[in-house]
């Protein structure tokens, strides 16, 4: 990109045409995600070269600071372009100027670039051994499902981008043991292809799990659990089970409209992109649960060649039926059938302390066969330092 780029709003149709060439685009950067985040004002932007060719796009979500008519401009898992350190100024400087001139006091973006990978088994052993420290302090062991050339190229690009972003005034995220606002920097992803790019079979993915997870997953197919895809009419049952799970596990729930909007909007743009999985007890089951009892449920999203386990819920009863395991297997099977590169189980904490409250989540996800990918994280570019500080205080008080 030796020539200047211009940036301006584009249509959703042009946006989708452009991202169709990017196999691992995050659903967080798709236009249909904007209605899900009702408290944010969306904007779809495109970068054009001197010939008018679209070379980059971004879904920008704006959130106003109370009283002031200035906004936080947030770009989760984006922008979308062929990330190259040499071209970073050509893309990011017009973004800076455009958003500043349109009232942004802070830009926050999460480049979808991986800077490090670790095998799940290595992470699990480090936590079990209570080594202390954080994942980024580990020397990565050999990854069986990502070739060395890919890893070397990722590390080189990440180092170059880090240097360029700092030179352009962007602030690097710190590593935290706890989940903060935004997208976690460390992601647990089950690879669905081998190092040569061949699709794995279900048995090969099961072979990545530890012995206990593999046994429970296989057992879940024989305990009397039936899996189905729900419809919008099933979201009342989902919400009740999700609230039961939130109360049991001590996290905050979400309003019912959040889930129904997600389901409706994502599937309207791309049928089958968002699936509600339901696990019910069959007539005969290992715990004599009444037939039709909703045991577990999950919300799954697929975009291009990636899939995400976004939310899960399970009943307090009939735990020996392993219904959540049965749902995980169903989502893995469907991801493989769809030709996905990986199945994302979401974020984990950076800590390797076995006593940390999030250590159990790390153990679960890595025993499921997930490796850990560290992205560049979410970088900030303060355009008004006073308002940026006021916003940080406001968010901290809201919790």
Q: pLDDT tens digit string along 328-371?
A: 999 999 999 999 999 999 999 999 999 998 899 999 999 999 99
Tokens 């007539």 identify what position?
Answer: 283
Q: Decide which of 314, 338, 362 is a domain's last residue.
A: 338
Distance CA 67, CA 105 (A): 13
Q: What residues have CB less than 8 Å from 190, skipping those under 6 apart?
A: 205, 208, 332, 342, 343, 344, 345, 368, 369, 370, 371
- The reported pTM is 0.94
Q: Is residue 152 domain-resident? A: no
Residues in contact with 286: Cβ distance below 8 Å, sequence separation at least 6, in sequence order: 223, 224, 320, 321
Domain membership of residue 75 (yes or no) is yes
Angle between helices 235-249 and 256-269 (to 10 degrees): 130
Q: Is the domain of 216 the same as that of 316? A: yes
How many other CB atoms sit within 10 Å of the CB of residue 145? 20
CATH number assigned to the domain comprising residue 385: 3.40.630.30
Is there a single domain that holds both residue 87 and residue 214? no
Do 17 and 80 fall into the same domain?
yes
Answer yes or no: is 182 within a domain: no
What's the number of domains the chain is made of? 2
271 and 385 part of one domain: no
Q: Is residue 197 part of a domain?
A: no
pLDDT of residue 35: 97
The confidence score (pLDDT) of residue 391 equals: 77
The mean of the pLDDT values for the chain is 93
Beta bridge partners of 314: 296
Is 159 among the domain residues?
Answer: no
Are 35 and 98 in a shared domain?
A: yes
Q: In what order do the strands lie in the sheet with 342-347?
A: 114-118, 371-375, 186-191, 342-347, 306-314, 294-303, 274-281, 225-229
393 shares a domain with 308: no
Same domain, 327 and 383: no
CA distance 10 to 1: 20
pLDDT at 46: 98
Which positions of the chain have pLDDT values less than 70? 1-2, 395-399
pLDDT digits (tens, 9 = 90+) for 228-282: 999 999 999 999 999 999 999 888 889 999 999 999 999 999 999 999 999 999 9
Query: Is residue 316 located within the same domain as residue 236?
Result: yes
60: in domain: yes
Examine the domain organization and report whether 231 and 331 are in the same domain.
yes
Length, in residues, of the chain: 399
Q: What is the CA radius of gyration of the chain?
A: 22
Tell me the residue range of the domain where 390 lies.
Answer: 6-110+378-398
Whether residue 274 lies inside any domain: the answer is yes
My answer on whether 217 and 90 are in the same domain is no
């Amino acid at each position: 990109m030796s020539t200047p780029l211009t940036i301006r709003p584009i249509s959703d149709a042009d946006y989708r045409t452009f991202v169709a060439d990017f196999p691992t685009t995050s659903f967080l950067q798709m236009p249909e995600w904007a209605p899900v985040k009702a408290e944010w004002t969306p904007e779809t932007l495109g970068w054009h070269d001197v010939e008018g060719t679209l070379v980059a796009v971004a879904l920008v979500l704006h959130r106003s600071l109370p009283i002031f008519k200035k906004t936080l401009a947030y770009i989760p898992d984006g922008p979308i372009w062929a990330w190259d350190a040499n071209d970073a100024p050509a893309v990011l400087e017009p973004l800076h100027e455009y958003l500043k001139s349109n009232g942004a006091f802070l830009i926050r973006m999460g480049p979808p670039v991986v800077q490090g990978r670790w095998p799940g088994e290595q992470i699990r052993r480090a936590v079990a051994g209570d080594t202390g420290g954080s994942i980024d302090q580990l020397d990565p062991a050999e990854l069986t499902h990502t070739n060395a050339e890919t890893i070397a190229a990722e590390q080189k690009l990440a180092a170059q981008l880090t240097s360029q972003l700092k030179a352009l005034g962007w602030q690097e995220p710190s590593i935290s043991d706890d989940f903060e606002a935004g997208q976690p920097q460390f992601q647990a992803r089950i690879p669905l292809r081998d190092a040569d790019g061949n699709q794995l079979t279900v048995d090969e993915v099961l072979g990545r799990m530890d012995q206990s997870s593999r046994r429970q997953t296989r057992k879940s197919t024989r305990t009397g659990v039936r899996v189905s895809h729900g419809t919008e009419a099933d979201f009342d049952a989902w919400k009740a089970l999700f609230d039961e799970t939130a109360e049991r596990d001590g996290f905050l729930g979400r309003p019912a409209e959040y889930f129904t909007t997600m389901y409706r909007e994502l599937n309207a743009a791309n049928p089958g992109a968002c699936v509600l999985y339901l696990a019910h007890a069959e007539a005969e089951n290992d715990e004599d649960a009444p037939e039709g009892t909703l045991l577990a449920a999950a919300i799954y999203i697929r975009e291009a060649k990636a899939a995400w386990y976004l939310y899960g819920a399970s009943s307090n009863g009939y735990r020996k039926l392993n219904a959540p395991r049965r749902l995980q297997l169903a989502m893995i099977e469907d991801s493989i059938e769809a030709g996905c590169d990986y199945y994302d189980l979401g974020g984990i904490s950076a800590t390797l302390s076995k006593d940390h409250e999030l250590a159990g989540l790390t153990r679960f996800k890595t025993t499921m066969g997930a490796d850990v990918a560290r992205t560049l994280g979410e970088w900030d570019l303060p355009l008004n330092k006073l308002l940026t500080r006021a916003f940080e205080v406001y968010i901290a008080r809201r919790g």
